[in-house]
């Protein structure tokens, strides 16, 4: 059999990309003299922040304003504080069950919100907490939902993956299942003749689900105003993208759907890409794939330490060199928009806001037993009764 070994073809060598995407959080350059803090100014996004597939690159010269940057900074900081609070509550055994945190991915949720309008629609699967708040929810509502309290945004019935607002179609427990739902939402927008977009988010792990491709096909077939957003945090649970996907360039996986790969750690690049994608789909060009290259600092869920399939050094390096919040902090300080003290105050305010929301959420009572039976069928159309565990628990409507 030794001869067989000689016959074996040489292993396909990995060909490095001609140009890898930049994932630093602080490579956008100031291209203007800021004289008046109330006026927008020009910045130049690093040319390697984007890669395009069958479409033009977004413009790298963009206008931002001090207010926007400070607002985004506050949002990112608040979202991280909220997720950290959830982490602590989980470790204190107050949150039970499943909990997936998006620490490290704030530039995606905040960048998305700052690039779209309230009429647009968003749907995702796990790591949905920041989107729920950004889309009109409250920190108290999210934390209370995680705690399973009445003040939760789904009245304590949903939990981590099931938080909704009128323009946010949730968290979903089955990764990939939300993507065709997103196509349906986009169809309704098109049917109603509205110039609005749906952003259907999924992870690099979910990207291999068959129904994701079913949704791509329908969306392109009917030119739906849907942006399919892959949040590539490089690990689907504990499996790295390279080990799960034959093609890890997720923005190219839409066949005839053009795609855009985005530095998901730079908030300015992220927001600019979202605006580009929104314009693309609402102008009747059909769907677009967008891949945010990002990173999650924590494990997949609370039961995953996150260090068995990647090194501590890797996580540490990402945290210290490519953190999206630090990147924005550097822009704000270097461009003289706010001082370190002023930003520290924002951090403190964010923490105080979250702490207050946590206390309020904790004070909220647990759902009443009668609510166990509501919202299964539309009120008035239920079966005469539904079963509990025992005779005494049978609920009669």
Partner 1 sequence: MQSFRRLASSSEAPPPADGHLPSVATSKLLRQNRDQALRTPGLRWTDEVEPGLAGNIVGGRETRKMNTYQSVRDALSTVLSKDDTAVVFGEDVAFGGVFRCTMGLSEEFGRDRIFNTPLTEQGIVGFGIGLASMGHTAIAEIQFADYVYPAFDQLVNEAAKYRYRAGGQFNIGGLTVRMPTMAVGHGGLYHSQSPEGYFMGASGLKIVIPRSPIQCKGLLLASIRDPNPVLFMEPKILYRSAVEQVPIDDYTIDLGKAETLIPGSDLTVLTWGTPVYHCETALHMLNTPPPGLADVIPQSLRGAKIELIDLRTILPWDMQTVVESVNRTGRLVIVHEASVTAGVGAEIAAEVQKRCFLKLQAPVKRVGGWDVPAALQYEKFNMPDTIRILDGILETLSY
Tell me the pairing of strands 288-293 and 259-263. parallel
Nearer to partner 1, 39 or 194 (CB): 194
| 185 is an interface residue for partner 1 by CB under 8 A | yes
Q: Per CB under 8 A, which region of 37-45, 173-181, 230-238, 346-354 contacts partner 1?
A: 173-181
Among 174, 352, 363, 394, binds partner 1 (CB under 8 A): 174
Nearer to partner 1, 17 or 396 (CB): 396
Among 54, 138, 211, 244, binds partner 1 (CB under 8 A): 211
| 223 is an interface residue for partner 1 by CB under 8 A | no
Q: Shortest Cβ distance from residue 216 to partner 1 (Å)?
A: 9
Nearer to partner 1, 146 or 262 (CB): 146
Among 72, 107, 147, 183, binds partner 1 (CB under 8 A): 183
Two structure tokens written together for 138:
């409250």
Q: Shortest Cβ distance from residue 205 to partner 1 (Å)?
A: 16
| 154 is an interface residue for partner 1 by CB under 8 A | yes
Q: At residue 181, what are phi and psi to the nearest 5 degrees?
A: -60, -40
Cβ of 389: how many Cβ atoms within 10 Å? 7
Q: Shortest Cβ distance from residue 372 to partner 1 (Å)?
A: 10
| 98 is an interface residue for partner 1 by CB under 8 A | no
Residue indicated by tokens 């949903």: 158
240 within 8 A of 295, measured Cβ to Cβ: no
| 361 is an interface residue for partner 1 by CB under 8 A | no
Among 27, 125, 133, 179, binds partner 1 (CB under 8 A): 179
Beta carbons within 8 Å of 208's beta carbon, 6+ residues apart: 236, 244, 245
Per the DSSP assignment, residues forming a β-bridge with 19 are none
225 within 8 A of 201, measured Cβ to Cβ: no
| 173 is an interface residue for partner 1 by CB under 8 A | yes
Residue indicated by tokens 């206008």: 63
Among 217, 239, 244, 285, binds partner 1 (CB under 8 A): 217
Among 136, 184, 238, 306, binds partner 1 (CB under 8 A): 184
Tell me the pairing of strands 121-123 and 61-64. unpaired
Output Rg (C-alpha) for the chain, integer angstroms.
22
x/- letters, 104..123, toward partner 1 (CB under 8 A): -----------------x-x
In whole angstroms, give the CA distance from residue 35 to residue 58. 27
Two structure tokens written together for 187:
């169809």
Range 118-147, binding partner 1 (CB under 8 A): 121, 123
Q: Shortest Cβ distance from residue 256 to partner 1 (Å)?
A: 14
Distances (CA, A) of 189 to 20, 91, 113, 184, 262: 36, 42, 18, 9, 26
269 within 8 A of 57, measured Cβ to Cβ: no
Residue from 313, 310, 271 nearest 292 by CA: 271
Two structure tokens written together for 392:
């005494």
Q: What is the DSSP letter of 180?
A: H
Q: Give me the residues that bind partner 1 (CB under 8 A), please.
A: 121, 123, 152-158, 162, 164-166, 169-170, 172-174, 177, 179-189, 191, 210-211, 214-215, 217-218, 221-222, 374-378, 381-384, 386
């Amino acid at each position: 059999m030794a001869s067989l070994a000689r016959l074996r073809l040489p292993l396909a060598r990995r060909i490095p990309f001609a140009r890898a995407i930049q994932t630093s959080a602080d490579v956008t350059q100031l291209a203007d003299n800021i004289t008046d803090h109330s006026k927008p100014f020009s910045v130049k996004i690093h040319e390697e922040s984007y890669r395009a597939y069958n479409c033009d690159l977004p413009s790298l010269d963009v206008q931002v304003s001090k207010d926007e940057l400070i607002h985004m900074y506050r949002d990112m900081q608040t979202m991280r504080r909220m997720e950290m609070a959830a982490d602590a509550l989980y470790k204190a055994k107050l949150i039970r069950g499943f909990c997936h945190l998006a620490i490290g991915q704030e530039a995606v949720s905040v960048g998305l919100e700052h690039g779209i309008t309230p009429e647009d629609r968003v749907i995702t699967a796990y790591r949905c907490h920041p989107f729920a708040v950004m889309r009109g929810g409250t920190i108290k509502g999210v934390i209370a939902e995680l705690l399973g309290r009445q003040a939760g945004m789904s009245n304590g019935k949903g939990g981590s993956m099931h938080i909704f607002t009128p323009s946010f179609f949730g968290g979903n427990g089955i990764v990939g299942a939300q993507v065709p739902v997103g196509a349906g939402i986009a169809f309704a927008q098109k049917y109603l003749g509205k110039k609005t977009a749906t952003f259907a988010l999924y992870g690099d792990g979910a990207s291999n689900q068959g129904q994701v491709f079913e949704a791509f096909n329908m969306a392109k077939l009917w030119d739906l105003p849907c942006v399919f957003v892959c949040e590539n945090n490089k690990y689907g649970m504990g499996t790295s993208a390279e080990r799960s996907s034959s093609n890890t360039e997720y923005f190219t996986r839409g066949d005839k759907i053009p795609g855009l790969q985005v530095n998901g750690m730079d908030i300015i690049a992220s927001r600019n890409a979202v605006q580009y994608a929104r314009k693309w789909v609402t102008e009747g060009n059909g769907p677009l794939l967008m891949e945010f290259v990002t990173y999650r600092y924590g494990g997949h869920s609370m039961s995953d330490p996150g260090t068995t399939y990647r090194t501590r050094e890797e996580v540490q390096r990402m945290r210290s060199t490519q953190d999206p919040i630090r990147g924005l902090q550097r822009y704000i300080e270097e461009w003289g928009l706010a001082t370190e003290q002023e930003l520290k105050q924002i951090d403190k305010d964010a923490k105080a806001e979250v702490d207050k929301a946590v206390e309020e959420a904790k004070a909220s009572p647990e759902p009443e037993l009668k609510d166990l039976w509501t919202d299964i069928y539309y009120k008035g159309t239920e079966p005469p009764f539904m079963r509990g565990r025992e005779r005494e628990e049978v609920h009669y409507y």
